[in-house]
Amino acid sequence: MKVGAFSISLNVKNLTVSREFYEKLGFSVFAGDQSMNYFIMKNGDALIGIFQGMFEGNIITFNPGWDQNAAQLSDFDDVRDIQKQLRENNVNLLSVADENTTGPASIVLSDPDGNTILIDQHI
């Protein structure tokens, strides 16, 4: 199973303060905008999403179909196939993708310690 590009999505109190902090760690803005309340920041292959007021807690994120530069991959496991494999392995899904669709979709699950995992396909 290939879950795609990895990033961590952080719920932040102040988007500007957090952006400036991660810039000091060598990250630069890769995507997003202050007016949209989020930035995706990149340092080499490391990706951090900082989001203000969009969700509670922090989220482990995987993007099937993308590499670490958000470039589309020609060979990837569709989120609905990942969902099927997880269900076959008795993994409880908190949110599911419609199996009768194609293209963008997402699923949500949590690990045994309650950490939220988002598998979010954009293509």
Domain boundaries, the chain: 5-121
Q: What pTM value is reported for the model?
A: 0.92
Sort strands 116-121 and 59-63 into parallel, antiparallel or unpaired.
parallel
CATH of domain 5-121: 3.10.180.10
Residues 107-119 have pLDDT tens digits of 999 999 999 999 9
Sequential DSSP letters for 49-95 = EEEESS-SS-EEEEETTB-TTSPBPSS---HHHHHHHHHHTTPPEEE
pLDDT tens for each residue of 43-85: 999 999 999 999 999 999 999 999 999 999 999 999 999 999 9
